[in-house]
Copies of this chain bind each other. A is one copy, B any other.
Amino acid sequence: MDAASRSNALMAETGSLIDTVESGGGVMRFPETLPLRLEGGGQLVGLEVAYKTYGTLNEDRSNAVLVCHALTGDQYVASPHPTTGKPGWWTQLIGPGRPLDPSRYFIICTNVIGGCMGSTGPSSINPATGQPWGLTFPVITIGDMVRAQTMLMDQLGIASLFAVVGGSMGGMQALQWATEYPERVFSAICIASAPRHTAQNIAFNEVGRQAIMADPDWRGGDYARLGTRPEKGLAVARMAAHITYLSEPALQRKFGRELKKADVSWGFDADFQIESYLRHQGASFVDRFDANSYLYITRALDYFDLAASHGGVLGEAFRKARNVRFCVLSFTSDWLYPTTESRDIVRALNAAGARASFVEIESDKGHDAFLLHEPIMEAALGGFLSSAAKARGLEP
C-alpha cells in the first residue's frame, strides 16, 4: 500500500475526517470536536494541516520521519513547488541513496500552522465569519505548530516518529518535539538552529514586520478581504532577512562590488549585482508567500524560548528527553544562528544526560548552507540516521 492510499485508508478509518489527498499527502481537516489548543489561550476550530509524504509506512509503523520547514519553507520538501515550479527545497537530502531515502523511510512534511500553503493560517477563512482571519488570527507558537503536527500523526496512526528533522525554525520544531513529546520521538536532528531568539534575531524580524505593516496595502492586516497585497513591504522584509541568511564572505565571493553593466548608472537603478540579486529575492518571494503569515511565523520564532518554561535552565528542558538520540549540526559562517547557539543546546543535552552528536561544519555559505549541497552535512546526517535505524531495528 503506498502512502497516499494508506493515508486514504486511515482517513476512511477515522470517519469524521476529510482528506483531499494528492499523491503522497493532502490536507487533513480536523472536525470541530478536535480543535487545536493554543499556547496563548483559546483554540483553533476547523484546523487544516497540509502535508506531503514520500515512501511507505512500514508494518510496525516505526519508519516515519517528520521533516520540519523553516520560516518561509513549506511541505514541498522534495516535490516541485506548485507556484514557482522549483524543485523541493531539500532534495539533496531526500531521494534514492540519500540520507532520507523514501525506500526506507516514510517521510512526512507539513506546512506549519500560521503558514500559507494549505495549513490554517491568517489567510485562511475564519469559519466563524466566513472572511479571511487577517489579524484576528491568534498568535501561535512553535509549540502550537508542533502540537498540530502531533494531531496529524495521531490521524496517520503514527504513535512514534523514528526521526524529527529540521533546519533553522525546523530545528526548533525538532527540539520542541523531543522535549514536549519525548515518548513519541526516537531521534531528533536540529540543524543551524537555536534554543531561543537573541535580541539581534528579534531585531531583524521586527524590521521585517515593520516593513510589512508600513505598506498601506497591508491595510491593518485586512488586505485579503479588501483585495490588496502588501507586496512592497513584504519584499523589503524578505530583502532584509535574506542578508542574514548569507555570510559576508559568501556575499563578497558571489557578488563583491561587481556591476550589472560596464559602469554605474549615477542613479538609483540596481547598479551592483548584489542589488539586483536582493531585488529579485524580494520580488519573487511575494509571489509565493503571504505577508500576514510572515508576521505570525516571525512572531512564533521570537516567542520561542525552550528554557523559559523550565526555570530558564535549558538542561531542564531536555531532562525528560534523555532517551531521544540527538544530532546537532551547525555551520561556521552562520551568523543568524551561530555555532554558539548549537553549543548551548549540546551543553544542555550533556547536562541532562541525553545522547548528543554534534558536528560544526566548516562552510562560508552562512545560514543558508543547510539548504545547499553540503557533503559533510549529508554525510553526518546519513551516518547518524543509519546508526539510529540500526538501534530502532530498521536495518534491511
Contacts and interface: CB of A to CB of B under 8 A. Distances in A.
A199 B232 contact: no
Contact of A199 (B196, B206, B213, B254): B254
Interface string A313-327: 000000000000000
Contacts of A289: none
A356 interface: no
A41 B199 contact: no
B252 A235 contact: no
B210 A251 contact: no
Given A266-B40, A267-B139, A239 B207 contact: yes
Interface string A287-302: 0000000010001001
Interface residues of A, number: 54
A118 to B, nearest CB: 24
Given A203-B243, A257-B196, A235 B210 contact: yes
Interface in A93-139: 135, 138-139
User: What is the oligomeric copy number?
Assistant: 2
B278 A206 contact: yes
Contact of A266 (B138, B199, B206, B210): B138
A384 interface: no
Contacts of A196: 257
Interface in A242-266: 243, 248, 251-252, 254-257, 264, 266
Nearest to A40: B266
Contacts of A61: none
B252 A268 contact: no
Interface in A67-89: none
Contact of A302 (B135, B251, B267, B272): B272
B203 A274 contact: yes
A264 B207 contact: no
A355 interface: no
A275 interface: yes
A198 B258 CA distance: 10
Q: Which 6 A-B residue pairs are closest in the complex by CB-CB distance?
A: A214-B232, A199-B251, A40-B266, A199-B255, A199-B274, A139-B266
Interface of A: 40-41, 135, 138-139, 196-200, 202-204, 206-207, 209-211, 213-216, 232-233, 235-236, 239-240, 243, 248, 251-252, 254-257, 264, 266-268, 270-272, 274-275, 278-279, 282, 295, 299, 302-303, 305, 335
Given A203-B239, A204-B243, A206-B279, 16 more contacts: A41-B266, A135-B268, A139-B266, A198-B252, A198-B257, A199-B255, A199-B257, A199-B274, A200-B248, A200-B252, A202-B272, A202-B274, A203-B251, A206-B275, A210-B239, A210-B282
